[in-house]
A and B are shown apart, each in its own frame.
Chain A
Amino acid sequence: MFREEVKTIGGLRLHVIPTKKYKTNTLVLKMKAPLCERDVTMQALIPYVLQNATERHPSMKALRTYLDELYGATLQVDLAKKGENHIITIRMDVANEKFLGTTSPLLREALTLFSDILFRPLTEQGGFSVAIVEQEKRALKQKIQSLFDDKMRYAQHRLIEEMYKGSPYALDVHGKLSDIDTIDAKRLYKHYEHMLKHDEIDLYIVGDVALTDVEHDVVERFPLEARSLRSTETTTITKRTSVQEVIEKQHVKQGKLHLGYRTNTTYNDADYDALQVWNGIFGGFAHSKLFMNVREKASLAYYAASRIESHQGMMMVMAGIEPSNYERALEIIHAQAEAMRNGQFSDEEIIQTKAVIRNQLLETVDTARGMIEISYHNVIATRQRPLDEWLEAIEKVTYEDIVRIGEKIELDTIYFLTEKEGEKK
């Protein structure tokens, strides 16, 4: 398990996770903004602009050279959606000097740099640097376009787009291509200032440190005003009367079959644990029904799996198949879902699945990133649950609980990306 020390400092929630597992210290800042069409593109651009330059390190080369001097400290940003929240993540990772034979206080220097990136970005005339913003607009366009080139990710995105049409969850975390040209450096900076005032901001420090070691440094460097936190609204979606089927044709050799189900259950709900077990028996692992039946028995696919989106109440199934095997693969997938609904799974499958879920959670917290993700579930959700309680809840799930959760799971959309007819392989 892991221990977490949490302290609210103005508008910042500081989480320190002391551990001796690593040879580096990890700093992760998460900003949680509402996922909405108006702001999503600006929010997608901001972290990439921030990681370019600061007042003190006013170019990419200067900033990156400084990171090299801090024994190859890393700086990365990324974007995610958790339910209808848009999450911006900025990470730094810096060597622990005790393994280096140096006395430089690398963690403190990294915190200073982190603070510079957030509060003293390179600006001009009340906006971000125009040159940097233009350069990152170009890079963002390329990023959005490249989604099309990764067919597995593309199919997953298209499924969600069709399933949640018209609601914020359908948005790409990188924003909308058509909005990029409307953004200028001043408006972007204004939006960033707004985010710093209103968004929920969490800073995680993971490594061989305690809260008392870093608290003072954080107070000095992260001056964020206290704020009232917005509650996340969730768009209610009217139930579909029949399953929607979307078939898209492109020049591809393998068909990507993706199915979207509504689980009507999120991390917040008491029966979320039963959903996790349901998903595990159905398609989460290499012992699951999907893998055994679609791959091992029928030889139709190399991968056939299911996963749940914890904060959205969605489950998806994905399989890469020969285009001509569409009907057969669907039939087998439906049969597995039906078996689950009819309670056709053994005690052995339940025990096995629980053991693997438990193992997976315990392994997750062997990485700094994993510990942060587990803790951050509690920021997104309204319920607070430490890992040991989560593990206990999984153990307690019964056969009846699993059958009951199955009754809530509804197939919504079938998406199939397939070859153009008459093409030779």
Chain B
Amino acid sequence: MKIIRYDQLQEQLFYERLNNGLDVYILPKKEFNKTYATFTTKYGSVDNYFTPYGKTSMKKVPDGIAHFLEHKLFEKEDGDVFQIFSKQGASANAFTSFTRTAYLFSSTTNVEKNLETLLDFVQEPYFTEQTVEKEKGIIAQEIRMYDDNPDWRLYFGTIESMYHNHPVKIDIAGTVESISHITKDLLYECYATFYHPSNMLLFVTGPVDPLTILEQIRTNQAKKTFRSPTDIERFHHEEPSHVAREKHVIEMNVQTSKCLVGIKAKNVYTKGKEKLKHECAMGLLLDHLFGKSSSHYERLYQQGLIDETFMVDYTEESDFGFGLIGGDTLYPDQLAEEIQRILLQFDDIDDEQVERLKRKKIGTFLRSLNSLEYIANQFTRYAFDHVSLFDVVATLQSLTSNDLKVVARECFVQEQFTVCQVVPKKVK
């Protein structure tokens, strides 16, 4: 076991890699009532083309299967895992992202029991043809819900336009059609490939005694047998740096238009310190240009091109990265032009401005550490890319105006921009 201290943040992180390859992290937070635990596999919607465990050739699986598997793990021969958690006073949930599937609970009592339940239900799959068929109706309604949600359509429309080949462009839940091809055998195959402990991470945070918890986890894992770990072979999709589609307009039953400009990042580092640095630099740069204290924000707001919903976001995971800028607007074309012009005209930033941006970002980072959910989820996301969440402050402090300019030169290029709009359906 290793203890990592972060003096400035007044935190201590306990870490151990178990014999079966599972990474376990425990962050004690004694002032809190609740304990929050996540058990995450490095397996998400982008992993749709890979060599299944025990096979020799690559295989393409139906879109939405990682998310489908997440739903089905909750059902067991003797009923629903939600029932067990709630008897133990816990609230349980799960989510699937582009690169991860996480199972989690939070509870203020029975932490040991709940942790046992979490580990056991994720490690004991039970899929039948009948329960798989039943789930299709439920997930179809989840997909329909998103179909009617203009913000989701806008978000995915933008990502879809950016990529030619990369599976990040595929909706996490798949489509009603694609999930119809999912069978129990396919689920077992994905499970066998991606749910080995060596591809997973357990994070526990709350008012816990780290040594007791760690011992409990060791004992739980020692009772089970696992095959020896193997490397997972995932298909690498060649992706050009220019976007697949420059503009995409979606007509929907809405009253207010929406517009997003997407920026496709070039030279994404797949792991380590360089990756964190790249992500932080891009974050600062976009905040400089479009944050609420920027002159561009003030002008666009005064001109009535944007409102409160205006957002700026940068995502960088695995081998993809993209920025998103936009929101509700009465003038979607004008806003798209303005945003792209601002990006292309950027040429300089001085160190004093960078210092102010860093100061803001460090305060924002501290605020995010108020949330146990944020800590567990973000720590896991970074860890899968060989980065530590707690290195964010040091990385921010190391950034210079030159780092920001390099990122701008790489990313603020017309052929890497895409525009997506949701507009009111024309009345026939």
Q: Which residues of A contact B (CB under 8 A)?
A: 19-24, 59-61, 64-65, 67-74, 93-96, 99-101, 131, 135, 138-139, 142-143, 145-146, 148-152, 250-254, 285-287, 291-292, 295-296, 299-303, 320-322, 348, 351-353, 355-356, 358-360, 362-363, 365-368
Q: Which residues of B contact A (CB under 8 A)?
A: 8-10, 29, 31-34, 80, 82-83, 86-92, 106-109, 134-142, 144-145, 147-150, 252-256, 291-295, 297-298, 301-302, 304, 307-309, 328, 330, 356-357, 359-364, 366-367, 369-372, 425
Kindly identify which residue among A24, A150, A250, A299 contacts B370, using a CB–CB cutoff of 8 Å: A24
Given contacts A251-B425, A296-B80, A358-B89, contact A363 B360 (CB under 8 A): no
> In this complex, what residue of B is CB-closest to A320?
B145
Given contacts A21-B370, A143-B308, A359-B91, contact A254 B137 (CB under 8 A): no
Shortest A19–chain B CB gap in Å is 7
Shortest A12–chain B CB gap in Å is 26
Whether B309 and A146, one on each chain, are in contact in the complex, defined by CB atoms closer than 8 angstroms, is yes
Whether A301 and B370, one on each chain, are in contact in the complex, defined by CB atoms closer than 8 angstroms, is no
Note all chain A residues with C-beta closer than 8 A to B10: 99
> In this complex, what residue of A is CB-closest to B299?
A61
Shortest B81–chain A CB gap in Å is 10
CB-based closest 4 A-B pairs: A71-B363, A299-B137, A72-B363, A72-B360
Shortest B421–chain A CB gap in Å is 14
Whether A73 and B34, one on each chain, are in contact in the complex, defined by CB atoms closer than 8 angstroms, is no
**Besides A146-B255, A251-B425, A252-B253, 19 other A-B contacts (C-beta < 8 A):** A23-B366, A24-B370, A70-B363, A72-B362, A135-B301, A139-B307, A143-B307, A145-B256, A286-B86, A286-B91, A292-B80, A296-B80, A320-B145, A321-B141, A356-B90, A356-B91, A359-B34, A360-B91, A365-B33
Whether A359 and B90, one on each chain, are in contact in the complex, defined by CB atoms closer than 8 angstroms, is yes
Note all chain A residues with C-beta closer than 8 A to B89: 355-356, 358-359
> In this complex, what residue of A is CB-closest to B371?
A367
Kindly identify which residue among B301, B356, B367, B369 contacts A69, using a CB–CB cutoff of 8 Å: B356
Whether B87 and A71, one on each chain, are in contact in the complex, defined by CB atoms closer than 8 angstroms, is no
Bound together, the chains give a CA A341 to CA B293 distance in angstroms of 56
> In this complex, what residue of A is CB-closest to B150?
A149
Kindly identify which residue among A65, A96, A295 contacts B293, using a CB–CB cutoff of 8 Å: A65
Note all chain A residues with C-beta closer than 8 A to B148: 151, 252-254
Whether B33 and A74, one on each chain, are in contact in the complex, defined by CB atoms closer than 8 angstroms, is no
Shortest A125–chain B CB gap in Å is 20
Whether B360 and A254, one on each chain, are in contact in the complex, defined by CB atoms closer than 8 angstroms, is no
Kindly identify which residue among A74, A356, A362 contacts B34, using a CB–CB cutoff of 8 Å: A362
Shortest A194–chain B CB gap in Å is 26
Bound together, the chains give a CA A227 to CA B31 distance in angstroms of 38
Whether B108 and A362, one on each chain, are in contact in the complex, defined by CB atoms closer than 8 angstroms, is yes
Kindly identify which residue among B108, B145, B309 contacts A254, using a CB–CB cutoff of 8 Å: B145
Whether B253 and A72, one on each chain, are in contact in the complex, defined by CB atoms closer than 8 angstroms, is no
Whether A68 and B139, one on each chain, are in contact in the complex, defined by CB atoms closer than 8 angstroms, is no
> In this complex, what residue of A is CB-closest to B107?
A359
Whether A366 and B32, one on each chain, are in contact in the complex, defined by CB atoms closer than 8 angstroms, is yes
Note all chain B residues with C-beta closer than 8 A to A366: 32-34, 372
